[in-house]
Structures are given as C-alpha cells and as structure tokens.
Amino acid sequence: GENVEQHPSTLSVQEGDSAVIKCTYSDSASNYFPWYKQELGKGPQLIIDIRSNVGEKKDQRIAVTLNKTAKHFSLHITETQPEDSAVYFCAASSTSGTYKYIFGTGTRLKVLA
Amino acid sequence: GAVVSQHPSRVICKSGTSVKIECRSLDFQATTMFWYRQFPKQSLMLMATSNEGSKATYEQGVEKDKFLINHASLTLSTLTVTSAHPEDSSFYICSARDRLSSGIYNEQFFGPGTRLTVL
C-alpha cells in the first residue's frame, strides 16, 4: 500500500544552524505534499506545502524541495531558533481515489540554545 | 484562512461510557472530513473518512460500531466513542476538505485535537 518514510526520527541542531528532514513516498499518483509542525498537546499546524507542478517553494526561513522522479521531498529550516523545537510530519496525498493523507512517522527537532 | 474547530478540547470519562467529539468547519463547507487518532510519540493514524450525507468509510482494523461517525451537515462531523475503555485514551484529530477546492490538489485543514482520557 501507500507509504511515506521520514528521516531522521530525531534531530538536534545548534541555534542558528540549518535543519533538514527528508521524506520518500511510494504512490506515484501523489501530487500534494504538506508539512506540519506539532507542539506538545496541540494539533498539527501546516507550515508549508508543495504541489507537484513545482520543484521548490520557500517561505522566509522554511523551504521545501520536491524530486518527483526520485519520489523525495525535503523540509529545510534555516537559522533555527529554540521555538522551532517540535515534532514535524510530512504527508503525501493525491486526488485519485480516497483523498487520504499518508503521514510520515515524524521527526522530533530540538534546537539547542 | 480556513478554520476547523473541535469540541471538547479535552475530556475525561469513566470506562463504559460514551463520548462525543465534534469537528466543525467554521468558514467553509466540507463534504469530506477525516478522523485521526494519535498515540503518544506516534504519527497520525487515519481512522475513517466522513462523507456528508452518507456512511463513513473506516480504515482496516477500526471498529465502526465502536467509533460512530455522523456527518449530518456540511460543517459538522461527530465522532462518538462508545463504551470507552482505557485503551481508547488518545488524541483525536479531525481534518476537513473544502467543498469548493479545485479538486486537483488535496488540501485539508486540521483541527486542534481532542484529548480523551478514559479512567
């Protein structure tokens, strides 16, 4: 079935450094790839998304890249700050069939001050 | 922007009782809503897809008689956990798809979640 792999599961970086989280999806029909930040006890918050018709999207310190051929997409956070510490989830979806989101397993990011 | 609310935000109940969780789309209409369950330090697991005016579609392994879903209007879906037991304690999250979305890309909007604790 459809699957999204996410790496690493935990990531510690020094404040000001960059963080990169990678996901790989299996369903070639996937065309929409959102990233969510989840803080303890809260619901997932959309931080950036990318559609399959572009290869990169940037929003201030956050960027996402997509390689459709390799079925990879990555989240890049630059100039990390302590408030970036959270769990990040990637997801992949398509509009064929059920409209489901297939979530990655999550990455716990710690930004050390 | 599109907002989804959930009520209650947290609930504690006794084993054997039923609990209802509401998911509302506040500024858009949603023909399709989704219910997820998230255990501590795990990812979101889809439980069921809720379709307005029709029966929900449940994922494999999810008991439809235990997790009753009703999507009676374009802005409200409810999840009722019947005869709740401690193992049902979890974080329940809903999402909604805008009825007017283009259909090309599957953008959904997530609620803040409901923490259920069954004693």
Taking only the tens place, the pLDDT of each residue in B26-53 is 999 998 999 999 999 999 999 999 888 8
Reported as type and span, the H/E element at residue B33 is strand B30-38
Residue scoring higher pLDDT (A35 or A1): A35
- Torsion (CA) B19, B25, B29, B35 in degrees, nearest 10: -50
Contacts of A109 (CB under 8 A, 6+ apart): A10, A11, A12, A13, A19, A21, A77, A80, A84, A85, A86, A87, A88
Residue A4: CB atoms within 10 Å: 24
Residue of B32, B106, B112 lying closest to A93 (CB–CB): B106
What is the reported pLDDT for B99? 81
Q: What is the pLDDT of residues B58-102, one digit of tens each?
A: 999 999 999 999 988 999 999 999 999 999 999 999 999 888 876
Q: Answer whether residue B21 shows pLDDT above 80.
A: yes
Bridge partners for A77 per DSSP: A19, A62
Q: Answer whether residue A110 shows pLDDT above 90.
A: yes
* Mean pLDDT, residues A22-39 taken together: 94
Q: Answer whether residue A50 shows pLDDT above 90.
A: yes
Question: Which of B86, B77, B85 is CA-nearest to residue B31?
Answer: B77
Q: Using only the alpha carbons of chain B, give its radius of gyration.
A: 14
Q: Is A16 left (phi over 0), alpha (psi -120 to 50) or beta?
A: left
The alpha carbon of residue B72 is apart from the nearest alpha carbon of chain A, in Å, by 20
Strand intervals (E) in A8-82: 10-14, 19-25, 32-38, 45-51, 56-59, 62-67, 72-77
Residues of A in contact with B104 (CB under 8 A): 31, 95
Q: What is the pLDDT of residues A68-88, one digit of tens each?
A: 999 999 999 999 999 999 999
Are B43 and A104 in contact (CB < 8 Å)?
yes
Place of tokens 């969510």: A36
Residues of B in contact with A45 (CB under 8 A): 110
Under 8 Å CB pairs connecting chains A and B tally to: 58
The alpha carbon of residue B4 is apart from the nearest alpha carbon of chain A, in Å, by 11
Are B104 and A44 in contact (CB < 8 Å)?
no
